[in-house]
Amino acid sequence: MEQNPTIDGIDDPNEVLISDEMPEVPEAHVADEALNADPDIDTILRQDDEWRDYFMKGMENAANNDEADEKRQYILDSITTRISLQEHLLKQLTLLELSESEREMVALLIGNIGKDGYFVGSIPDLVMISGMREDEILRLLTVVQGFDPPGIGATSLRECLLAQLDVVEDSPWEDEARLLIDKYLPKLASHDQKFLCNVLGLDNDELQHVIRLIRSFNPRPGLQFEGDDTEYVEPEVFVVRKEGKFIATVDGRQLPFIRISKQYRRLLQDTSVSAETKSYVRERIRAGAFLIRSIHQRQETIRKIAQEIVDAQSGFLLNGIKDLQPMTMAEVADKVGVHETTVSRTVANKYMRTPLGVFELKYFFTPGLKTESGETVSNKSVQDVIYNLISQEDPAAPLSDQAIEAELKEQGVIVARRTISKYRGILRIPPSHRRRIK
């Protein structure tokens, strides 16, 4: 949401809103004209008698003493801040008895730990920079790897998981888990459970206990120190259905308020104020009126573009993604009568609430694929078909890309195998040999 723009230099908390209905303002004016000779300015300032900003009432008489300052500082000091991974590790460094050179190297090693918790530095580079022997640096790296959280500073997933297994207490599956992590992680990733049962000497139920133990570990122990504040989106466009037609409206509450201090009215009425100052004040008020009109124009542009999207995607709004139509920004720009770059800027980071949920405006702009009948379908619709086909496949005989290609062809959609592979990547679906469960 945009910040509420205000006119600089306003000290008076009793401000007024500029009227939404602004008359056209002439560009030129007489520098020393009187207030009642300028109907444009007078119209704007007359709103001063009708509107009041009362949200700051009482602020002028707020206490400003030592007790209030102390309370304010206490509140500020009480605000908690998230500690970073490096800060967490450096605090543990202060508890170690090390020489100055060792302490500097450990700090350097900590600085080479990525946000996911893995050591990403180069030992040869550290040798060259510090002059310390490689075996000494590796010894100090093992010191860092003993820090909290378990698995920190590992150089591989295998190291990370084994370090976390070392702190597990009284698990009956520890030996099997250690062997699996040490030797057969790729087989676990490919879901080759039959092989794992054979090499570990377990039946399938016992293997599941081992897998559950391993999956209880954190493969990226450093991420727990990353910010996890949820980012909420606020729809700016709302779609409602009226008399069988979908209508796009723009949330008027998101319009910023522009306020003019009462002090400016007093300046215009003060006979002791110079004509030059009054001329400057009038220009600033006119600038505010221009900004109001610009904001209204922005909202109207958003509404027109959103309505074009809604008109083109009425099938989607009724039936879901299978009826999403291919659409380009150039097509919408041509219908609205603006440049394509205007559409691109307008839809950026804006969201629309529809009967099907909240969607980013850019979601509706997709290229199309030709069907055998000559029609075009959205690539997102094709991705949805691929996702549904794979979700319904037999886990013991997953669909290959060639089989998916044949299924789509039966539905009249011609898609190259490399395109299917690309769409699988977008959907984060692994190839068939990795989806197979024996």
For 194-231, the pLDDT digits (tens) are: 999 999 999 989 999 999 999 899 999 998 887 655 56
Cα dist from 1 to 240, 348, 418, whole Å: 22, 13, 41
Note the pLDDT of residue 224: 85
Whether 115 shows a pLDDT value over 50: the answer reads: yes
Q: Specify the DSSP class assigned to residue 353.
A: E
CA distance 377 to 366: 9
Percent of the residues in the chain that have a pLDDT greater than 70, as a whole number: 76
| Selection from 256, 280, 258, 253 nearest residue 267 by Cα | 280
Kindly report each contact of residues 174-182 with a partner whose C-beta sits within 8 Å and lies 24 or more positions away, as own/partner: 174/213, 176/200, 176/202, 176/206, 176/210, 177/210, 177/213, 177/214, 180/210, 180/214, 181/214, 182/158
* CB 263, CB 12: distance < 8 Å: yes
Note the pLDDT of residue 404: 87
Model confidence band, residue 288 (pLDDT cutoffs 50, 70, 90): confident
Give pLDDT tens digits for 155-164: 999 999 999 9
Q: 82 or 297: which carries more pLDDT confidence?
A: 297
Whether 333 shows a pLDDT value over 80: the answer reads: yes
Note the pLDDT of residue 106: 92
Q: What is the mean pLDDT of the chain?
A: 78
Whether 257 shows a pLDDT value over 80: the answer reads: no
Note the pLDDT of residue 139: 93
Q: What is the mean pLDDT of residues 407-422?
A: 83
Model confidence band, residue 77 (pLDDT cutoffs 50, 70, 90): low
Q: Specify the DSSP class assigned to residue 156.
A: S
Note the pLDDT of residue 49: 44
Instruction: Give the bridge partners for 259, in sequence order.
Output: 17
CA distance 253 to 304: 18
Which two three-digit tokens encode residue 299? 């909202």
Whether 143 shows a pLDDT value over 90: the answer reads: yes
Note the pLDDT of residue 96: 87
Amino acid at 379: N
Three-state DSSP at 260 gives strand
